[in-house]
Structure 1
Amino acid sequence: MVRLCSLLLLVALLTACQSVQGRLPTTPATLGPATLKDEKLRITTTTNMVADLAREIGRERVEVRGLMGPGVDPHLYKASARDVRTLQNAHLILYGGLHLEGKMVELLEKSSRAVAVTQGIPRAKLLYPEGSDDLPDPHVWFDVTLWKHAAETTRDALSAADPAGKEGYAQNAAAYLARLDALDAEVKALMERIPSRQRVLVTAHDAFNYFSRRYGMEVRGVQGISTAAEAGMQNIQMLARFVAERELPAIFVESSVPQRTVDAVIAAARARGHPLRVGGELFSDALGTAGTPEGTYIGMIRHNAQVISRALGSAP
């Protein structure tokens, strides 16, 4: 009897979630000046990278609520009934797009209040990994110049939802874009300190291809583009042989991906007599904790570049 009641309760909850998901807003929200005298523009975001972007450009005119916090993997994240209610109450929904939020795509695309911050990136600048079924690699934020497109899309989305704030959003975006230009130059300089033979970034999953293209690093991942695919023993052994042959000193763990696959590569490399070690923790699919330097996009990218350069080269 208890099991039957539990089963009925589970079915009821799932039905409720599905019915709520079907009622996301389907009309754009546009706020006039009078409305914002009493309330801020309510923005709901998926990843905390997008939340940071909204705060940087919206500043005091916006109230941002992010669904995913530090260490959360967007590839695997499923929206709860509470998340859907938060989305319903938003004037504007911002998300990564390019199927980054793989299990939320259908939900997000149902609402005309939802904007993918990557939608302004030219298709020619996107990477399409072999076997991806024509889906682009979604990790565009690792090329700072591509994230500038996301900033511009965010500026335009905020301006459309809150026309009275358009001038302020434009000013905030211009200042932020200048900071991104400086960050791009900083990352380039850090990567150039690494000896050319050691400019190989080996990580838990294959998230750094845009970083590779922009900053001249060869990249290898234990897992594929999405963490939904498990790494097989053959992949681990092949990667261990590769790092041993290249005499790479370090492999990197990621804050949003379990460390077990990295540990397996280290063990396999050491079995071959190569003293591979963990070079540090990188932030890949999520920022760090709010209030820390890594809790912002700029701080996260700077942290990653410094950790990589220090482990493979000679960063200060």
Structure 2
Amino acid sequence: MSASYALALKAARDAAGAQHYPQGALYVVATPIGNLADISLRALHVLEIADAIACEDTRHTQSLLRACGLERPAGSLLPLHQHNEAEAAQQVVRRLAAGERVAYASDAGTPAISDPGARLVAAVRAAGLRVVPLPGASSVTAVLSVAGAHAGPAEAGFVFAGFLPSKAGERATAVEGLAREPRAVVLLEAPHRIGDLAAALAALGPRELTVGRELTKQFEQIATVACADLPAWLAADPQRSRGEFALVLHPSSAARPADDGQALLALLLEELPVKSAVRIAAQASGAPRNALYQAALRLRGDAS
């Protein structure tokens, strides 16, 4: 452990130690997605005081703990991954029912989003026991924050799609669905499959895609390209196909239905005269003023 993490542990005890950490609770702990400095003070404190730590890979979590200066006996680490989650969750429930504090950490980022953990949380809640989130690093929010993909009200919100199917036909069908999705879409992909994903997304043509590669790590790379250009962008440098990927498919104006302004017009008519409501609705939506005026007369006639 470096001196900096000795200071971090002291800071964690000072900053988080006075807070209440109920017994018999599951603590869902976000861990760094690459840069170890992204671990939170509260995460350090909970990983230190927990009676047991359930983890996706005990070796990976033990390495993280040691890097942060936390020495835990091997018996306090419980393997809980996609192949044993249902059974291991019951073991965690029994420990919680006995009054223990149990932390859960996946290999990187926030558990139970694309990593294991959702079944564990569901089992704990079904047993009437408490689940406490410890927020922190997430590739989903990290890539969204630098994509600039949903900047206006028309593009509000995003969809998390995660990993698309591995089979070519199912992946192509999923991409067809993305073509009809007007909001930003967050995708995840592994290095050995990024070429196949790029080939499938190329069908979306000029729609923009922000690629986040090796986020928070030394060789982090962020680029925005047209979907049609993604295969060529990857092929231009072998390094671009290495590492873990988080991607944002930008909103598609073609996928959004044209705004005829009538929804806004109906709201404005509740407070304003017809001419004022029509003028504002036309300016906001770009819809023809004459069409909006006729619609306003119909709405007023229906109301009366």
With the length of structure 1 as denominator, give the TM-score of the two structures: 0.30
Q: Considering only CA atoms, is the larger Rg found in Structure 1 or Structure 2? A: 2
